[in-house]
Chain A
Amino acid sequence: MTNNKTPLIEMKNISKRFGGVHAVENVSINLYPGEVVGILGHNGAGKSTLMKMLSGAIEIDEGEIIVNGKKASIKNPRESRALGIETIYQTLALADTLDASANLFLGREITNAFGVLNEAQMELETRKVMKTLNPNFTNITDPVNSMSGGQRQVVAIGRAIYFNAKTLVMDEPTAALGPAETTMVKDLTLRLKTEGIGIFLISHDMGDVFELCDRVMVMKNGKDVGKFDIEEVTRDDILSLIIAGQLPEGWKPRNKK
């Protein structure tokens, strides 16, 4: 596939310990432009920890991250964002008492020369973004804690895509959504992919994984137990990796059977 290009992201031999626990142990993964890579595994397998190191929410213990061929040191979320990496957290990370526009621009407000917020401009941009994601989303100025789970998700997604991300990390983006909103997120993911954005997708939903991902990596107990092109594996193969940490006996790639 795209292996002749420079990867957008190279994570090399990444490790992270919390006290005595090896949350992530010597994991390497690449991401190319226009590619969706699924990160799969049980709860506590280290998926979110690995991605949080890319987002700058957690610092790396060992290993390195290379962005566009250049070694990057990501110590906090600001540095990650500056490298074009946007994250949709599982918890959404929204400031509940603020409205959609305040959340969309949180940490990156539009201001005038005196540092005064340009609310009108931000509201205008928010309305534009929200329109592309969900035309029915009009209560932009309500605090997000009065919104439905789907609308909150849309705000979190809007925040990630508005700032021209090159890399997107999506942690369980459809877990809290109804069917219609799940479809919206999937369509959006595919659209972003065709725009050349690289996407790391953490998901438990096998349907999503097979529909969206080009490649998958399965993690168990902090370790990488297998990386595959999606064409090579079946649902059962992946479940076996997630549960047992190994492929079924006598496994052959699905597409070469």
Chain B
Amino acid sequence: MTDTNLNTHKQESALTRIIRASEVDTRMLGMIVVLVVIWVGLNIATGGIFLSARNLYNLAVQTSVVGIMATGMVLVIVARHIDLSVGSVMGFIGMVIAWLQVDIFPLNAGWNWPLSIACGATLGILIGIFQGWFTAYRGIPAFVVTLGGMLAFRGGAFLVTDGRTVAPMNKTYQLLGGGIDGSIGTTWSMILGIIAILVIALGMYRSHASRVKHGFPTKPIWLQLVMFAVIAAVIFGFVYIMNSYNKPRSDIGRGIPVPVLILIAVVIVMTLLSRITKFGRYVYAIGANPEAAELSGIDVKKVTTFIFVIMGILCAIAAVITTARLNAGTNSMGDSSELLVIAAAIIGGTSLAGGSGSIPGAILGAVIMQSIENAMILLGAGSGERMVVMGLVLIVAVWFDTAYQNSKK
């Protein structure tokens, strides 16, 4: 055999080699740089308010809802589908939860909030089966199914109480929204931070040891240590900032808000689901080449339906946070948030051509979108101006991405 054209790598600079060896997606690295630049810029523009503990705390809470739904949108788009209904589904489920909790169940009963959440989750699953079945088994394009869903469920959100806002929610339930008491305090935040750092250290060590054991190529040790140091610093920095934002008229630090905790849990579960399970593998295979997936014996229809079921559950989780945070159910909840969710996934590097996209990327995308929106509010921009800017940001982001992908070829 000749190996002349098999293993030729282009001559690379030292930096490119390091980035390649670190196996960090260069695109992801680019996004982190963009985020840092945006943050510094916005901080200057807002006269230092943007990067204050208080604002970062709010930013984190605001990002949770879009971020949670974006993790599911990544899978939907990776599998070459789209879900335009997430905002409406979230609004509908939120209304049902609020209506059950306030109008149907006794408000102060201890079982009220868990049961109403369970009902919301079940509804999310049913909606997922409904839209997934039409898409997968009846071959109706997801664009059409979920466009219908977007209208139908928005109407449903209105019909639950004939447009009436339902409030207030159960006291315990409100904590899930990240309000004044909706965070876990400084001690627990620090403990969780330390646990996270330890788990990451253990994970990196085990993955390295396993590669050594099998004799696979490994990343240089110093590089792994640098990566670990960066991750640990980010976690520690996050906990520190959340702890330094005090509750009103006190010096008690808030710690990590509950919605952010839920987001982190969702991100972990969804990342594991997409990376280490058969299901996740199949989602990417279907997106990369649906015909090949079918020929490999993958039950494409079942997997597709399951993707929409997951999306439904995530909409229910987002609905819980939204209603808890508003302390009410209103039929306009989640209005046009499908666009933010899709934009977060796409800015985060999910390819509309299918087969590639990452969940951490989508979270970064959500943070970028939310940062711009948040800063514009701080600067006193109206909702019209915000929509113009967000729309342009989306187009420019995808334009950069397309240019980047073409330059790689």
Give residues in A with beta carbon < 8 Å to B.
55, 57, 76-78, 81, 87, 89, 91-98, 102, 106-109, 111, 115-117, 119-120, 123-124, 127, 134-139, 148, 150-151, 180-181, 184
Chain A residues near B2 (CB-CB < 8 A): 180
B298 interfacial by beta-carbon distance below 8 Å: yes
How many whole Å from A216's CB to the nearest CB in chain B?
26
Whether B210 contacts A87 by the Cβ 8 Å rule is: no
B95 CB to nearest chain A CB (Å)? 35
Q: How far is the CA of A21 from the CA of B113 in the complex (A)?
A: 62
A77 / chain B contacts, CB cutoff of 8 Å? 294-297
Q: Is the CB of B281 within 8 A of A109?
A: yes
Q: A120-B214, A136-B3 are in contact. Are A102 and B295 (CB under 8 A)?
A: no
Q: Is the CB of B1 within 8 A of A136?
A: yes
> Are A93 and B292 touching (Cβ within 8 A)?
yes
CB distance from A38 to the nearest CB of B (A): 22
* A-side contacts of B216, CB under 8 Å: 120, 123, 127
Contact flag A57-B7 (CB < 8 Å), given A96-B355, A97-B355, A180-B2 = no
Task: Please name all residues of chain B whose beta carbon is closer than 8 Å to the beta carbon of A109 when the two chains form the complex.
Answer: 278, 281
How near does chain B come to A52, taking the closest CB pair, in angstroms? 9
User: How far apart are the CA atoms of A57 and B292 in the complex, in Å?
Assistant: 10
**Docked complex: B282-308 residues within 8 A CB-CB of A:** 284-285, 287-289, 291-298
Separation in Å of the A99 CB from the closest CB of chain B? 11
Residue ID in chain B nearest A116 by CB atoms: B276
Q: Within 8 Å CB of A108, what residues of B?
A: 296-297
Q: Is B5 an interface residue (CB 8 A)?
A: yes
Q: Return the chain B residue nearest A106 by Cβ.
A: B296
Interface string of B1-28 (1 = CB under 8 A from A): 1110111000000000000000000000
Cα A108 to Cα B5 in complex, Å, equals: 31
Q: For A138, list chain B residues within 8 Å (CB).
A: 7
Please determine whether A93 and B289 come into contact, CB atoms closer than 8 angstroms.
yes
How long is the Cα–Cα vector from A137 to B5 in the complex, in angstroms?
Answer: 11
Would you call B288 and A57 a contact (CB within 8 A)? no
For this complex, 24 residue pairs linking A to B, each with C-beta atoms less than 8 Å apart, are A77-B294, A78-B297, A93-B289, A93-B295, A94-B289, A95-B284, A95-B288, A95-B289, A95-B292, A97-B287, A97-B356, A98-B281, A98-B284, A106-B285, A108-B296, A117-B276, A117-B277, A120-B216, A123-B216, A136-B6, A137-B6, A138-B7, A139-B7, A180-B1
Residue pair B295, A57 in contact (C-beta under 8 Å): yes
Please measure, in the bound complex, the distance between the C-alpha atom of A134 and the C-alpha atom of B216, giving whole angstroms. 18
Residue on A with the closest CB to B275?
A: A117
- B-side residues, CB < 8 A to A, are 1-3, 5-7, 210-211, 214, 216, 276-278, 281, 284-285, 287-289, 291-298, 355-356
- B289: contacting residue among A57, A96, A124, A135, CB under 8 A: A96
Asked if residues A107 and B277 are in contact (CB atoms below 8 Å), the reply is no
Complex CA gap A214/B285 in Å reads 37
A160 to B: closest C-beta gap in Å: 11
- Check A106 against B292 for contact (C-beta < 8 Å): yes
B356 cross-chain contacts in A, Cβ below 8 A: 97
Given the complex of chains A and B, what is the CA–CA distance between A124 and B214 in angstroms? Answer: 7
Query: Which residues on the A side are within 8 Å of B291 (C-beta)?
Result: 91, 93
Report the bound CA distance from A116 to B293 in whole Å: 19
Give the docked Cα–Cα distance between A123 and B211 (Å): 10
Contact B355 A184 (CB under 8 A): no
Bound together, the chains give a CA A8 to CA B267 distance in angstroms of 50
Flag if B284 contacts A97 (CB, 8 Å).
Answer: yes
In the complex, what residues of B have CB within 8 A of residue A107's CB? 293, 296-298
Instruction: Given contacts A81-B297, A94-B289, A123-B216, list 20 more A-B pairs with CB under 8 A.
Output: A55-B295, A57-B295, A77-B295, A78-B297, A87-B295, A93-B291, A93-B292, A93-B295, A93-B296, A94-B292, A97-B284, A97-B288, A97-B356, A98-B288, A108-B297, A117-B281, A120-B211, A150-B6, A180-B2, A184-B1
The contact of A95 among B1, B7, B293, B297, by CB within 8 Å, is B293
For A120, what are the chain B residues with a Cβ–Cβ distance below 8 Å? Answer: 210-211, 214, 216
A102 and B6 form a contact (CB under 8 A): no
User: Which 4 pairs across A and B sit closest by C-beta, in order of nearness?
Assistant: A107-B296, A95-B288, A78-B297, A97-B355
Inter-chain contacts of A151 with B (CB < 8 A): 6
Please give the distance in Å from B281's CB to the nearest CB on chain A: 6
Taken together as a complex, chains A and B put the C-alpha atoms of A78 and B51 apart, in Å, by 55
When distances are taken between beta carbons in the complex, the residues of chain A under 8 Å from B5 are: 148
Residues of B within 8 A of A150 (CB): 6
Q: Are A135 and B292 in contact (CB under 8 A)?
A: no
**Complexed CA–CA distance, A169 and B287 (Å):** 26
Report the minimal beta-carbon distance from A107 to chain B, rounded to whole angstroms: 4
List the B residue with the shortest CB-CB distance to A89.
B295
Residue of B nearest to A135 (CB): B1
Q: Contacts of B292 on A, CB cut-off 8 Å?
A: 91-95, 106
Which B residues lie within 8 Å of A96 (CB)?
288-289, 355
Q: How far is the CB of A232 from the nearest CB of chain B, in Å?
A: 35
Please name the residue on chain B nearest to A94 by beta carbon. Answer: B292
Q: In the complex, what's the smallest C-beta–C-beta distance from A116 to chain B, in angstroms?
A: 5
Q: Quote the shortest CB–CB distance from B3 to chain A (angstroms).
A: 4
Chain B residues positioned under 8 Å from A124 (CB to CB): 214
What residues of A have a CB within 8 angstroms of the CB of B7 in the complex? Answer: 136, 138-139
Report the minimal beta-carbon distance from A143 to chain B, rounded to whole angstroms: 8
Assembly CA distance A92 to B295 (angstroms) = 10
Let me know if A111 and B284 touch, CB within 8 A.
no
Cα A184 to Cα B298 with chains together (Å): 30
B49 to chain A, nearest CB (A): 42
A86 to chain B, nearest CB (A): 11
